[in-house]
Each structure stands twice: as C-alpha cells, then as structure tokens.
Amino acid sequence: MSIRERLSGNEAIATAMRQIEPDVFAMFPITPSTEIPQYYAGYVADGRVDTEFVCMESEHSALSACLGAEAAGCRAITATSSAGLSYMNEVLYVAASMRLPVVIAVSCRALTGPININHDYSDSMAERDSGFIQLYGENNQEAYDNYLMAHRIAEHPDVRLPLMVCEDGFITSHAIENIELEEDEAVKAFAGRYEPEHYLLNPDEPLAAGPYGISAYYMEARVAQAEAMKRAKKVILDVASDFEKTFGRHYGLFEAYRMEDAKIAMVIMGSSAGTAKSAVDDLRSRGIKAGVVKLRVFRPFPGDEIADVLKGCKAVAVMDKSEGFSSCGGPLFAETASACINLDKRPKMIDIVYGLGGRDFTVDTAESVFERLSGIAEGKDIGDVYTHLGQREG
C-alpha cells in the first residue's frame, strides 16, 4: 500500500536509495545534489542500511570508486550536479564502455560560466553521448519512481549500461510536494538483487576490466554499446509495465498530453512540462488544438515514437533548456528534428532555447510560444528557426 508523504525531490531520491539499499555509495558534495548523500549518511549512521558509504576527494574519484565496486560485483551509486558531473566526464565514458550499471542521481544545474547554481540542463546534456541511459522527471513523484526503476533497467542482461536519474535542480530537488512512497519490502522485491554474470571477485573466472581496445576490437565494443542502448528502449517499457502492475503508476518513454487531435505542439522536458500543460488546458478551453509531448527518456532517444505522435501536427516548438552553441539549435531540437526528417508529411518545426540559469518559464510565456505556432500553422512565415526566449533585449 502506498504511503502518503511530503518530501523534496532530493529526499525522495534518497528514500528510494535507502529502500533499494545499494552495497556502495561513493560521494562528493555539490549543490544542489548535496542533500542526497547527506540524507543517506544519516541512514548509515542510524543503522538503517548496510551500505559502504565512502567520502571521496572529488567527483572524478567518487565515480571511479563506484566503477571499482561495480566491477567487483557490488551495486554502487552516487549523486552529483553541474561541474561535478563534468568533472566525472572521463569516468562516465569508462563506465559505459565497461558496461557497469552504476546509477547516478543528477540534480541538473547550469554549468559555468558565468558561475550559476540554478537549473537548466547544461550538465546532463553535455554528457548525453557518454553512453548513459538518461531518465528525466517532471516532479518529485517521477524522480522517486524513476529511481525505483533505474537499477532494474541498468542491470538487465540485455542492457548492462549505466544510468542517470535526472531531476531539476532546486525546482524539484528542494521543493516539497505531496508524494506516494512505497513500502520498503515492496521496493526491495521490485528492484531485486544485483547478480552480475561476470565480476572481479569471482575466483572461478579470472578476468580483466577495462582492457586496452586496439583497432581490431574498439569499433566492435562501441557497436555492442550502441546495440545495448537500442535494446534499452524495450527494457524501459517492460520495467515500466511491471512498475504499473506493482504500484499502479503509468510511465512510458514520454507523455503525450492532449495530442490526440493537436495541430500545434510543444516538445519539452522536466518541470517545465507542468507549465506547458497548464497553457494547453487554457488554450483548449478556447478551442485551440494544442498539445504537449513531455520527454521522459532522452537516452535512448525515442525518435520513431515521437515522430509518430507529431506527424499530425502543423507546427511544433522544441524547447531546449540548454544551449548547444551549434548556431542552429539545441540538443533536444537536433534529436526531434532528425527523428521527423523522413516523415512523408512533416510539421513545421522551430527551436526555442529558454530557462537558462534558472530564468522563469511561465504559463504566459508558454502561451506566447503557442501563439507563434498558431501563426505558423495558418501559413505565416516561420521566421528564425532557432531563437531564445525570456532574455532581456540588447
């Protein structure tokens, strides 16, 4: 039976971690993810978990310790944000190439510079091609639920890839919301035990971890990773289906909100989706056929599925909460536009970079985007495909 509670996103994730009870938690603090290991340290001190809690000298070292633990056959976790995730960069690629299913909780935050501690997706988007699966949550409930599913997905024999559970720094990490928690034993049963097929401490099977990949083998290793990422899509859906049967809450690769007959639509991620949905409800009350596609899974990117949902639209705005510096749009736009490139009838598509460094995104702002889309749908000039929203002029 679900337990009604009020928690911040950070405490919700820490609670999920406690319920799953990993073997190793290696940490280094950075705002706004610091509360997660802080809560977990309390669980360790109170004897509520049997976890080796290791304080490291840097984020690079924290993830390195997780890799050593995973390679030895342990379930290992950490949490980080912003420059901390960037400092892990080298080790992220090592984790994915070694097929070690470590799970990282990321409280997404802007990257320097200038120095900023507020929310956008600069950090996680910078690591989108590291080989990690990436899940994003709109609110504290999704942050908790995504973490409950994370280890099942990452450790699945068809996948064996590391995974990031991403929440919005401060917006969800620190804000307190009503949430439904599950009972400890039910979570433990759902997550299961980590039982790797190959591990360093197995005396019956000597093996090397992280060997040098010469030209004759490197490409094959990369292709194996790529195929595992493709397979992850089905595993994510299978785990979500079992999650719904067990706990009653439904999740897919994305949420299509009022998209059944939508002619204009917004593709968006994270907490901003709630704002966009409110705008859509208002527009629908005035007879405007607007909809929202809220992405939950960015890696593997559900391109075919999103293209299928958008194919009936006349105009689509892709909302990027990170700047790609490509001169033609952000990372979410690049993925979404490429997914739609082979549709027989494509919607007109624009990219809007917004919310950088914590800049507000309001219902009125969202409605201004839909107003522009309505004009495009009616045949007006599309204008600049790549624009910024919410910045001061000049």
Residue 394 has a pLDDT of: 56
Residue 393 has a pLDDT of: 82
The strand pairing partners of 175, in sequence order, are none
Contact 94, 70 (CB under 8 A): no
- Answering whether pTM is above 0.85, one says yes
Query: Can you list the domains of the chain with their CATH numbers?
Result: 3-247 (3.40.50.970), 254-389 (3.40.50.920)
Residue 113 has a pLDDT of: 87
Residue 210 has a pLDDT of: 87
> How many Å apart are CA 103 and CA 295, to the nearest integer?
20
**3-state SS assignment for residue 330:** coil
Q: What is the dihedral of CA 371, 374, 375, 376, to 10 degrees?
A: 120
pLDDT in tens, 266-278: 999 999 999 999 9
How would DSSP label each residue in 284-318?
HHTT--EEEEEESEEES--HHHHHHHHTT-SEEEE
Residue 287 has a pLDDT of: 98
Contact 229, 133 (CB under 8 A): yes
Which residue ranges in the chain fall short of pLDDT 50?
Answer: none
